[in-house]
């Protein structure tokens, strides 16, 4: 039997939203720029630079987004704790960037 795709396992529908965000990577002790591509109450898709040291299973903090439509989908707070659910390198035509799926930690 085929394994369900990532979209089949999601609990919440995602809204397509293109907005700049930042994330803090504790291991690197650094903030990185990113671009949100979709969001739901339980997660976020974003694209990041291929030099960002990001791997599935790592914990990151999304810095409070300024885009109102994005902020409405996420828990309140200046920093939103999340776990990297997947990292797709070269899966989509993203101009050399890496697609990252985050699970929002509650």
| Predicted confidence (pLDDT) per residue in 62-105, tens digit | 986 665 666 666 766 678 899 999 999 875 555 778 999 999 98
pLDDT at position 4 is: 44
pLDDT at position 2 is: 42
How far, in Å, CA of 23 to CA of 81, rounded? 10
pLDDT at position 76 is: 65
Residue scoring higher pLDDT (106 or 52)? 52
How far, in Å, CA of 106 to CA of 87, rounded? 21
pLDDT at position 37 is: 92
**pTM for the whole thing?**
0.76
Give burial (CB, 10 Å; 0-12/13-18/19+) of 23.
Answer: buried
**Domains, the chain:** 11-104 (2.40.10.220)
């Amino acid at each position: 039997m085929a394994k369900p795709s990532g979209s089949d396992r999601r609990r919440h529908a995602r809204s397509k939203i293109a907005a700049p965000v930042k994330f803090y990577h504790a291991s690197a002790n650094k903030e990185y720029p990113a671009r949100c591509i979709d969001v739901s109450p339980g997660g976020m898709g974003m694209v990041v630079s291929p030099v960002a040291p990001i791997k599935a299973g790592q914990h990151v903090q999304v810095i409070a987004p300024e885009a109102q439509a994005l902020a409405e989908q996420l828990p309140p707070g200046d920093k939103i704790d999340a776990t990297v659910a997947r990292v797709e390198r070269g899966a989509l035509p993203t101009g050399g960037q890496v697609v990252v799926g985050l699970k929002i930690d509650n």
